[in-house]
Amino acid sequence: MSVVEEPIWLTQDALRQLQDELDAIVGDSAADDQSLARAVELRSIIRRAQVGARPDDGIVEPGMRVTVEFAADGSQDTFLLGSRALLGADGDVAVYSPESPLGQAIAGLLPGDRFEYRAPSGATVAGAIVSAVPHA
């Protein structure tokens, strides 16, 4: 049985930064085990990279800038669903991993859909998706 890997949407700048990081590790004859593990991770990301604009289908998935509204107080939060390593120079954006409790609760949802998850503190958090647009 083969595993289908999802593409990872990157800007050209982010892909270039990841490739530069990989080149630096590969060129370092004194690279330690941690650096070599990072090189394996970078190769996987680069192999799966899709450069350009992510399809604007409104579905909450990695690579989308998501706005949620929390039911408890009506506050909203906007963040990138994905990995900080994929942001490139845009380091001011909040990032939630697809594997986080919030990321798992909202994956596949559309604007208007409601979600609920258990936070690490044990509290139940509920809310709704306001928008999901491709991260520029």
**pLDDT tens for each residue of 42-85:** 898 888 887 766 667 788 988 888 999 999 999 999 998 887 66
Same domain, 72 and 40: no
Residue 57 lies in a domain: no
Residues spanned by the domain of 27: 8-51
pLDDT class of 134 with cuts at 50, 70, 90:
confident
Same domain, 68 and 118: yes
Residue 120 lies in a domain: yes
Contact 73, 64 (CB under 8 A): no
Residue 91 lies in a domain: yes
Give the residue carrying structure tokens 């994905």.
82
**pLDDT tens for each residue of 8-36:** 777 778 788 889 999 999 888 888 888 88
- Please state the pTM of the whole predicted model: 0.65
Contact 15, 32 (CB under 8 A): no
The structural domain count of the chain equals 2
Same domain, 12 and 38: yes
Q: State residue 2's pLDDT score.
A: 47
Same domain, 29 and 83: no
Q: How distant, in Å, are the alpha carbons of 59, 101, 116 from that of 73?
A: 24, 19, 14
Query: Domain holding 72: CATH number?
Result: 3.10.50.30
Q: State residue 4's pLDDT score.
A: 54
Q: Which residues of 54-67 are buried (b: 16+ CB within 10 A; e: fewer)?
A: beeebebbbbbbbe
